[in-house]
Structure 1
Amino acid sequence: MTSRSTPEGPAAPRRRGRPSRAGTPDGPDARTRILRAARTEFAERGYDRTSMRSVARAASVDAALVHHYFGSKDGVFAAAVELSFEPALVVPQILGGPVEGVGERMARYFISVWENPVSRAPLLAIVRSALTHEAAAEVLRGFLLHKLLERIAAELDVPDPTFRAELAASHMVGIAILRYVVRAEPLASADPERIIALVAPSIQSYLARGAADGPAPAD
């Protein structure tokens, strides 16, 4: 092993072996950088034109590292969706208050994610892709239903939790498409608080009727 001298004195000898991970593309923050790059790529290029290589270039890593972490484009797409919604943090928040407020908390969370410019762009790409690509639609269904709404309905111990979760998802995704994708007026320019107030009772009925409100009225 050799060392180089500097004006201040001899430099520390270089050690053999793997380089430090902290400042290299495969360092501990590489996965986060890949996900952030993926969100931007899907938002700007769409599902079709985004590739594992384009994500790797945007994250300044080797494409093999993207494959290592996520396996496929669908895998990195799914992880990017989850990064936008953060279910591990959201589900406890929605379930943490009184059952009577589940619908309002769910509606407020969903609208707030779309109103945030940082998360809106990748979500637009996700919804647009889901309308035309089955793989993207499967990712969105899997996340929105299985990781978010079904978990909430199941924790509330209501009948038919999957069916109720699908009804809630259809309502909220429909609002997202009309307000943020199609931009139908007057919904597109309506105050978010007005939307939350009008939507919350329906979401409450889907997710929590039978848990705290008693049985649904007979037809």
Structure 2
Amino acid sequence: MNGTGARRRGRPPRTESGDTRDRILTAAREEFSERGFEKTSVRGIAKAAGVDSALVHHYFGTKEQVFAAAIEVAFAPALDAPDALADGPPAEVGERLTRFILGIWENPATRAPVLAIVRSAVTNETAAAVFRRLVASQLLRRVAAQVDLPDAELRAELAAAQLVGMAMLRYVIKVEPLASADVEQIVARVAPVVQGHLTGP
């Protein structure tokens, strides 16, 4: 029987494909956040998204590819960091980058998906490798391109290490008094160090 309300299994109509893809990505981020990379399955993601597992494979492929797509969307705000570096005088680049990264972590809407990425990356080497490729190709190399000095890539990585370490202690491990410190106090302490990594001798 094939009434007007009936729907074939398989690929969704084109008008629904974007919504379905977004729903899968949202479910994937939640599953990776709650269960970690190893305990998350394509079947679990499909169930959380309300779709068939075949659709997850259709849109994204393997679990590693689902993870890569999910973190790329979640990490998208951080990919604007190179633009923040270029928008102002070189002497203030450390402060701009520090404020930019803190802004991502301070905003609950962007913090939650980034936390999911970090938790998966620190507990599973496959997830870490996917995260490394994304960070290296889409963030650190673009930051390095803004730094017109020798060892630009190393400078960018050291600045990132400073900011990631600060974020891990403040937002993930929640070590006091850093976890409760005023943002302006953190900027005042951290920005000069980031500046030194990026533009110092």
TM over 0.5: yes
Which position in structure 2 is the counterpart of 1:52?
42
Distance 1:121 1:65 in 2: 25
Q: Which stretches of structure 1, 4 residues or more, deviate above 6 A after TM superposition?
A: none
- 1:198 aligns to what? 189
> How has the CA–CA distance of structure 1 residues 102 and 84 changed in structure 2, closer, same or farther, with 3 Å as cutoff?
farther
| Unaligned ranges ≥5, structure 2 | 5-10
SS at structure 1 position matched to 2:102 = helix
Q: For 1:1-219, what aligned pairs fall within 5 Å after superposition?
A: 20-22=13-15, 24=16, 27-86=17-76, 87=78, 89-207=80-198, 209=199, 216=201
Cα displacement (A) at 1:185: 0.8
How far the C-alpha of 1:82 sits from its partner, in A, is: 2.0
Give how far 1:134 is off.
0.9
1:194 and 1:119 mapped to 2: Cα distance?
22
1:36 Cα deviation after fit: 1.7
* Structure 1 unaligned residues grouped into runs of 5+: 5-17, 210-214
Query: Structure 1 length normalisation: TM-score?
Result: 0.76
Shift of 1:19: 7.4
Comparing both structures, which one devotes a greater share of its residues to helix? 2
Mapped contact 2:32–2:120 kept (Cα < 8 A): no
Equivalent in the alignment of 1:212? none
Distance 1:69 1:193, change over 3 A: farther
Provide the identity percentage.
54
> How far off is 1:186 after superposition?
0.6
Report the TM-score, using the length of structure 2 for normalisation.
0.82
Mapped contact 1:95–1:152 kept (Cα < 8 A) = no
- Give the RMSD, CA atoms, in angstroms: 2.5
C-alpha distance in structure 2 between counterparts of 1:91 and 1:34, whole Å: 29
Q: Following TM superposition, by how much is the alpha carbon of 1:52 offset from its aligned partner in structure 2, in angstroms?
A: 1.5
